[in-house]
Amino acid sequence: MLNESSRLSINNSNPRRSSGSLNRRASDKLKVNKKPVEEKGTNIQVVLRCRGRNEHEIAANSPVILEAKRRRDAVLRNTGKDKEYSFDRVFGPESTQEEVYKEVAQPILDEVLMGYNCTIFAYGQTGTGKTYTMEGELEERNGRLTPRAGIIPRAIYKLFETLDTEHAEYSVKVSLIELYNEELRDLLNNDDSRTLRIFEDQSGSGVIVQGMEESIISTAAEALAIMQEGSKNRIIASTKCNEKSSRSHCIFTLTVHIKEIIPGGEEVLKVGKLNLVDLAGSENINRSGAEHARAREAGMINQSLLTLGRVINHLVDHSQHVPYRESKLTRLLKDSLGGRTKTCLIATVSVAKMNQEEIISTLDYAKRAKNIRNRPEANQRMYPKILLREYEQTIERLKADLQASREQKGVYLSQQTYNMITDENQSSKDRVVELSRDVEGLRDTLRDKTKELDEKSDLLFGKESELAQVQANLKTLDKKLGDDIEQLTERMGQVNKKHHN
C-alpha cells in the first residue's frame, strides 16, 4: 500500500489535497535545509539474496558456507574464520518472490509515483537467480500473476492498480534494451540494422539512447506481453554454471506521466521513471566452461562488470574522475551511481562451498557499493506548454533529418543530429588523449622499474661474484684442513708406535 503522502501526490481530482501535499513538501524542505551540508545525499540500498543449493551442488556434496542471519546479516563460514557481512536486507534461500518485491521494490515504486527516477539492478554469479529475481515467471494464470513472478511483472501490475485506484490521468511508456558485447540492441524492434547510440543529455542529467523505441501502454497485460516478447529475443547460452544463462545486460524502463492540479488550477505533469536492470552473470571463465566465442563473450561481460566495479571504487574513494565513459553499461547507469536517482542493488549468491570464490567476490562487491552516495531529487513538474514545445522541436528535428535524407546531399542528417554525433566523436577523441596520457605515465613507470631492475641485477651479479670467491676460499681451506688432518693422523700413528715399542 502507498503511504498517505503518495496517495496525495497521485490523487489529482481535488486541488485542495494537492495544495496540502505541496505545503507538506515545503515544510519538509525547511527541515532538510537545517541539516549540515555533509549529510546531503543518501547511500544506495544494497540487498543480498541467497540461493539454496541446486541439484548440481547437492550431487557434488558441496556444503553450505553462507547463512542468512537475522534480517540484515549474512555469515560466511568454513573459510578459516567466520566473517559477517551487513546489508540493508538479507534474504535466505527460503525467501519468496512476494517477500522480495514487497520489501525491496514496492517502496521504490512508491517513490517513482512521487516523481523520482529509481533504479533496481541485480548483480551476481551466473546461475544465482538474477533473472529469476527480476523477471521470474512472466505468464499469467487466470488473469493473475503466479507466485514465481519477479519484480518486473509485479511492479507493472502494482503500478496500474495504483493509478487506476487513484483515478489518475496518466500515460505509461516502456522500453527494453539489451547490451551485448558492448553493442546496444532494442528488444522491442526486430530491425537488427537499427543502430542505437548513447548521447549525453544536454541538461547534464543523464544519457539519451537515440533510436530506442518506447511503447505507450494502457494496461498491465499489455506491458507484460511486451516484456515476454522482448525476453524471448535476449541472447542466452548454456554454461557449466547455468543451463540457460543470460549473456547480455538487459534494461527495462517504465516512464510514468501523471497529471496534477497545482494551486491556481493550472495543470502540470509529474514524471517518474523506474529502471529495472538484469546484469549478465559475473563468472570465472575457466569454471564456466566458456570456449572460443563464448570465452570472448564472457570476457566482454567481465570487462563491463570490471568497469562497473572501477566506477564504484572511484565513487567510494571520492575520486575527481569517475570512468563512466569506459563502458556503455556504466554510461547507461551513470545517474544511478552517484547521481540523482534512488538506487537499489540486489546481489545474488549461491550458498555452496564449490562457489566460494564467486561468493566472496560478490559479497565484497556489494559491501563496497553500499558506500556510494546518491543525491536523489524529484523531477521538475512539466507544464503542458513546455512539453508541447519540446515535442514540436523533436518533430522539427525529425523533419529536418527526413528532408536531409531525401535530398541526399552529403550527410543525411539534420544539423542538430550531426552536432550530437560530432560531440560524441570529440568526447571519444578526448578520451583517447586521456588514455594516451595514462599510457605515457605507465611507460615512465616501466622505464623506472627497468632501471631499478638493472641496478638490482648488477648488485645481484656482484653478490654472486663475492659468493663464488667465498666458495673458492672455502674449498681451499677445506683442502688445507684435510691435509692437516692427514698429517696429524700420521704423526699420531708414529707416536703410538713408539709408545708400544
Would you list which residues are annotated within the binding site? 124-131
Which residues are known binding-site members for ATP?
124-131
Q: Compute the distance between CA of residue 156 and CA of residue 227 in angstroms, rounded to an integer.
A: 10
Closest Cα to residue 9, out of 359, 272, 291? 272
Instruction: Compute the half-sphere exposure of residue 462: CA atoms within 13 Å on the CB side of its CA.
Output: 6
Side chain identity, residue 460:
L
Angle in degrees, CA 57, 61, 66, rounded to 5: 65
The residues facing 47 across adjacent strands are: 89, 346
Q: Compute the distance between CA of residue 445 and CA of residue 478 in angstroms, rounded to an integer.
A: 48
The residues facing 270 across adjacent strands are: 258
204: left (phi over 0), alpha (psi -120 to 50) or beta: left
Q: Residue 81 contacts by C-beta under 8 Å, 6 or more apart in sequence?
A: none
Q: Compute the distance between CA of residue 400 and CA of residue 403 in angstroms, rounded to an integer.
A: 5
Closest Cα to residue 97, out of 122, 63, 61, 62? 122
> Positive or negative CA dihedral for 255, 259, 262, 268?
positive
| Lookup: cell for 41 | 545525499
Q: Is 92 exposed, middle or buried (0-12, 13-18, 19+ CB in 10 A)?
A: middle
8 A C-beta contact, residue 277 and residue 121: yes
Q: Compute the distance between CA of residue 493 and CA of residue 500 in angstroms, rounded to an integer.
A: 11
8 A C-beta contact, residue 350 and residue 51: yes
8 A C-beta contact, residue 122 and residue 130: yes
> Positive or negative CA dihedral for 285, 286, 288, 290?
positive
